[in-house]
A and B are shown apart, each in its own frame.
Chain A
């Protein structure tokens, strides 16, 4: 056996929690940028640049947040797959034992 597998549900939960929090923080950063942009009225000399910047990063951070959400989904799938494999292997061993 060459694989060195080690995974506990606590570690996976910690990762899921970290990545879920990451999405939340990005959401908060987006809200801050939107709030700041809303503080300026359209006639202000830098309003155009600020609005462009805020729009670009609001989009970029939303994309990053979605990426973090996908990571959470992947981690959950990893956990589900390990659980399923564990049960499958246990069933297989039981069958071998019954037939043996």
Chain B
């Protein structure tokens, strides 16, 4: 259950660095695990079936995996890894800022008590703000002034803390945005994926497989240059299209 700002920092009266620390720690953990999973998957694919499947089809398949698929998996791992790092650093900074905020709230507590007591003994409500309606006795005035001065200093430090917090929010937001900009959906590759689905829906790999067997009978496979084996209808486009 969420606590209100007053519950979290009753003496400061505001929350200088709001944020669900546990949520960010969990998120950083999830992102880190996701990046590690992708890195591991890329290693597995890179090593799959090497040298044990030979022929033009094998060369084309491996070429496709190494040229088209693995770089994207690597990019995904990097991007998500960057986000995980940014989130981990953010969680550490947020923890430190919230520790400082709690320390300031504790420092403010005795002055808040002193102010409330002085106001009440002067016949004023605890929430009264200067200039006060009643004429105060010098002893009351001195205690109230002392508490207000101390609380003003603590509030100023809490405001500095909030400014630091905003700067880190902005920096982390930019880092997450940079990491997100590496995603496939923002590079137009999603459309290319559709191309792959369509291309592979045709019997292109039959052509791929037969190109090797027909090669030694002297025929050639149109659109499938054997000098530069490639996967037909490659999703990345014009550079690879036959």
List residues of A whose CB falls within 8 A of some B CB.
1-8, 11-12, 14-15, 18-19, 21-22, 25-26, 28-30, 32-33, 35-37, 39-41, 44-46, 49-50, 52-53, 56-57, 59-61, 63-64, 66-68, 70-71, 73-75, 77-78, 81-82, 85
Contacts and interface: CB of A to CB of B under 8 A. Distances in A.
Given A4-B54, A36-B27, A56-B185, A22 B41 contact: yes
A74 B65 CA distance: 12
Q: How large is the interface on B (under 10, 10 to 19, 20 to 34, 35 or more residues)?
A: 35 or more
A66 B197 contact: yes
A26 to B, nearest CB: 7
Instruction: Find the residue from B40, B184, B203 having the highest chain A CB count within 10 A.
Output: B184
Chain A: interface secondary structure? helix
A50 B90 CA distance: 12
Instruction: Find the residue from A15, A22, A64, A67 having the highest chain B CB count within 10 A.
Output: A67
The 4 closest A-B pairs by CB, nearest first: A36-B30, A60-B184, A36-B27, A56-B183
Given A63-B189, A81-B206, A33 B41 contact: no
A4 B169 CA distance: 59
Given A39-B26, A57-B183, A60-B190, 16 more contacts: A3-B212, A7-B54, A14-B49, A18-B45, A18-B48, A19-B48, A25-B38, A29-B76, A32-B30, A49-B177, A53-B83, A59-B184, A64-B72, A70-B196, A78-B57, A85-B213
